Amino acid sequence: MADKYKILVNKLELELRKMRSAGISKLPSEQDLCKEYSCSRQTVRAALEVLRQRGLIVKRAGSGSYIADDAFCNRTVFFMTEDVDKYITPTLIAELKTALSNSRYDLKAFSTEGRITGEANVLKRTLKDRPAALIVDPVKDLIPNPNSRTIGEIISAGIPVIYCNYSNSLEGALHVAPDNRKGASILVHRLHDLGKKNIACIFRMDDSTGLDRYRGYIDALSELDLPYDEHRCLLLSYKDKKGTLIGNDRIISQNAAIITSGVDAVICQNDMVAYDLMKVLLRKGIKIPEDITIASFDNSYYAQRGAGFISLGYEEGYLARALAKTAIAAAEGRAVKDITVPWKI
């Protein structure tokens, strides 16, 4: 019975969220629950007792079980990311707070510092505090992650998990992300339309965003019959990328001569990398965009202040609104689907 009642607890908690959203307060009778979930009355009673101890239901003598008045009153959404203070993340956090506040939810943001242990600490707190939802900007999601089990426990506990900007997620989680493979293809085609035929790339290879963009880059080169040269592909890790965030362009400087030899365009992981590459090339006397055209992602302030490179992004505030909409709907037990964020150039 031990395993059965724990499974039933998770199922009932999800159902309670839906009931609360629909304005229903009284639970079905124990007999009806036995029939609905094909289990014994002993299992049902054990599950209901757990829900009572958690403060989610109250029992009224002679009447049955009801959702507690203060059940699911946690209106805080957790947001877990590599660094809350760097690059475009502060803007996303501010937009998220605004979008959530419109529905009387608030936001708590946590940095993992790009470490598995940092992520583990946030996930443990999530299980302890039981927020309305958890938005995840994961750490190196292409590397086997010991935290996957904890994320599974969070999902099983009825806490909605939404992956931000990543298409790879655990079963039961939601994701709000652009089609990164398509995005890279859009940029290659744009550069080709500008007459560029020898296109290099700089992508991150320990997360699914970079890998999908690399795949889209290769797809488009093949479609357009453009040459591929692995020496023109600089593949970064989180540690390498973090260097650009703190003003250290050592990795790009060391490889610039190799990846730009005979090249007329470069596609970068994001605007920060593009900006650092542009500085390195300008120091070498290379004109941007006349000699080499640079393209990237995010359409951030680096691209918007006349930096001289092309950037693919989204409609302003779209990602935050989509994340907030998904988190709130899932927290309130309403039907919700993954959202593909459209690109805008």
Full pLDDT tens readout for the chain, 345 residues? 457 888 899 889 888 878 876 778 899 999 999 999 999 999 999 999 999 988 889 998 888 999 987 677 688 999 999 899 989 999 999 999 999 999 889 999 999 988 899 999 999 999 999 999 999 988 778 878 899 899 999 998 889 999 998 766 678 899 999 999 999 999 999 999 999 999 999 999 888 899 999 999 999 999 999 999 999 999 987 666 555 544 456 778 788 888 889 999 999 999 999 998 998 999 999 999 999 999 999 999 999 876 789 999 999 999 999 999 999 999 887 889 999 999 987
The helix/strand/coil state of 190 is helix
Which pLDDT does position 168 carry in this prediction?
Answer: 63
Which pLDDT does position 245 carry in this prediction?
Answer: 44
Q: Is the Cβ–Cβ distance between 256 and 281 less than 8 Å?
A: yes
Cα distance between residue 103 and residue 277, in whole Å? 41
Residue carrying structure tokens 């290879």: 205
User: Greatest CA separation found in the chain?
Assistant: 85
Residue carrying structure tokens 């089609």: 179
Q: Where are the alpha helices (DSSP H) in 105-207?
A: 116-129, 148-156, 180-193
Which pLDDT does position 338 carry in this prediction?
Answer: 94
All domains of the chain in start order, with CATH = 2-67 (1.10.10.10), 76-178+317-341 (3.40.50.2300), 180-312 (3.40.50.2300)
Peptide bond into 342 cis (omega under 30): no
Phi and psi at residue 137, in whole multiples of 5°?
-105, 95
Cα dihedral sign, 50-51-55-61: negative
